[in-house]
């Protein structure tokens, strides 16, 4: 049984607090890298649309290649150790980027290689992270735990881009990436402080790798609502990755905004993320736990229209920052609501001994297309322009939401747990 506190809030749960602080440190550094890495590629290495597509592919290919076996392996491993090793590997890979950049030997090939290594470590970290929370805090506290972690992400996202955007005016992007190295190392310190010992299944209960992977995929394929959620989220992620892989190029080259402007826009988006995370539980209960998944999935691409519209409005004398900020703010609220709701649903639904495999299978299906999306986005932007590509992204994401809108999700106030999901008709 997970250790519980006399107080209700997980903020007083010692082990969760160590995970929470460690995650917060990683998120601060990761947000700096999210801003600095593409800017470094665009502004100092003069990356093209196709090269940015290749960079996105390198950053995401691991979800396709090792995503499935990672889940089966993690179900047999001590998840805290997986998190620690993943942080260490990412720190070393990013350190390589910093050293080569500051010594004047940075190039896109090094960026591709480091991104590939980081993506492999991130697969293991993310799957282990999701699979670790339920055992650490207990099934009843999953929603609160996810909400706190999502709020931490959103808070880091609001403060860091604004500060990072201003710092990029006076320091180089590699220096910001170096901060990420430090935060990964500090994250390890807090992860090592977690006291709870994980109880692993007996070794003789482990299936061989291929049947173990198949068991996770079979659960997703045969579970009502979950299979529909996976399909819809996977399609939406394919299109959204096309957009995000080219967004930095669009903002800097098409709209001709500065690094500081980029930080302001990202901060506005992150404020929406904070609101979505802080009020996720209350909004979910008010709207309905199932209904919020369908509504937020459909609303996000609609609210994203200000991004490509900014280019047109700029020709009419409108400051492009206005539609960018409004769209980023509103779409991030709905995106965060969707993420908190669907992750909590999956964790509540899945049997504990399958959680690693199911999380890995979910990410394999949902994120496996991301490297192709980066390449496709780069090709479409190169052939037809960045604005056309962004409109295509919106249309694709909206179509991807339809399987959720036209399902039982839209009428459900309470989502079922593992014991009742089989009775639900989609």
Greatest CA separation for the chain: 69
Cβ–Cβ < 8 Å for 79, 360:
no
Query: What number of other Cβ atoms are within 10 A of residue 417's Cβ?
Result: 11
- For residues 96-104, average pLDDT: 91
Q: Which of 146-150, 218-222, 288-292, 317-321 has the highest mean pLDDT?
A: 317-321
Closest by Cα among 232, 234, 250, 230 to 391? 250
Cβ–Cβ < 8 Å for 242, 56:
no
* CATH 1.10.3720.10 at 11-191+208-423, yes or no: no
Angle between helices 355-367 and 67-74 (to 10 degrees): 170
Question: pTM of this prediction?
Answer: 0.74
What are the structure tokens assigned to 268, written together?
Answer: 């506005």
Q: What angle do CA 71, 75, 81 make, to 5 degrees?
A: 95
Name the residue ranges covered by the structural domains of the chain.
11-191+208-423
Which residues are CB-contacts of 252 (< 8 A; sequence separation ≥ 6)? 39, 42, 43, 262
With 90 as the cut, is the pLDDT of residue 392 above it?
yes
With 90 as the cut, is the pLDDT of residue 188 above it?
yes
Closest by Cα among 109, 107, 127 to 356? 127
pLDDT digit string (tens) for 27-52? 787 777 777 788 888 878 888 888 99
Q: What is the DSSP track for 227-295?
A: HHHHHHHHHHHHHHHHHHHHHHHIIIIIS---HHHHHHHHHHHHHHHHHHHHTHHHHHHHH-HHHHHHH
Considering only residues 168 and 2, tell me which one the structure prediction assigns the higher pLDDT.
Answer: 168
What are the structure tokens assigned to 209, written together?
Answer: 């790798």
What is residue 166's predicted lDDT score, i.e. its pLDDT? 67
Q: Which residue has the tokens 């994980």?
A: 198
Q: Which of 173-177, 191-195, 356-360, 418-422 has the highest mean pLDDT?
A: 191-195
């Amino acid at each position: 049984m997970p250790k519980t506190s006399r107080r209700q809030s997980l903020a007083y749960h010692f082990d969760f607090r160590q995970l929470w602080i460690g995650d917060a440190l990683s998120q601060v550094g990761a947000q700096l890298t999210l801003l600095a890495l593409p800017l470094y590629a665009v502004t100092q290495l003069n990356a093209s649309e196709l090269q940015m597509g290749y960079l996105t592919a390198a950053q995401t290919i691991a979800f396709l290649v090792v995503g499935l076996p990672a889940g089966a392996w993690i179900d047999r491993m001590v998840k805290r150790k997986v998190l620690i090793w993943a942080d260490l590997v990412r720190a070393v890979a990013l350190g390589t980027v910093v050293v080569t950049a500051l010594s004047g030997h940075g190039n896109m090939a090094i960026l591709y290689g480091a991104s590939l290594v980081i993506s492999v470590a991130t697969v293991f970290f993310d799957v282990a992270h999701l699979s670790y929370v339920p055992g650490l805090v207990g099934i009843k506290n999953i929603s609160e735990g996810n909400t706190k972690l999502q709020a931490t992400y959103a808070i880091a996202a609001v403060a860091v881009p604004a500060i990072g955007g201003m710092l990029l005016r006076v320091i180089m992007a590699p220096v910001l990436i170096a901060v990420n190295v430090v935060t990964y190392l500090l994250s390890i310190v807090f992860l090592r402080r977690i006291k709870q010992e994980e109880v692993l299944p007996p070794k003789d209960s482990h299936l061989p790798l291929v049947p173990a992977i198949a068991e996770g995929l079979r659960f997703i394929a045969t579970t009502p609502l979950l299979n529909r959620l996976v399909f819809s989220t996977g399609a939406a992620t394919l299109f959204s990755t096309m957009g995000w892989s080219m967004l930095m190029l669009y903002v800097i080259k098409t709209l001709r905004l500065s690094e500081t402007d980029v930080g302001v826009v990202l901060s506005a988006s992150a404020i929406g993320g904070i609101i979505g995370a802080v009020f996720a539980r209350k909004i979910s209960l008010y709207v309905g736990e199932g209904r919020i998944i369908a509504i937020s999935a459909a609303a996000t691409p609609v609210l994203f229209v200000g991004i490509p519209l900014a280019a047109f409005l700029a020709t009419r004398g409108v400051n492009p920052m206005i539609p960018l900020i409004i769209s980023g703010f509103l779409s991030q609220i709905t995106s965060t609501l969707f993420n908190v709701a669907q992750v909590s649903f999956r964790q509540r639904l899945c049997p504990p001994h399958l959680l690693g495999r199911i999380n890995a299978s979910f990410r394999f299906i949902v994120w496996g297309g991301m490297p192709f999306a980066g390449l496709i986005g780069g090709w479409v932007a190169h052939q037809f322009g960045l604005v056309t590509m962004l409109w295509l992204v919106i249309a694709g994401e909206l179509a991807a939401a339809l399987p959720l809108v036209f399902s039982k999700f839209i009428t459900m106030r309470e989502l079922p747990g593992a014991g009742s999901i089989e009775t639900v008709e989609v």
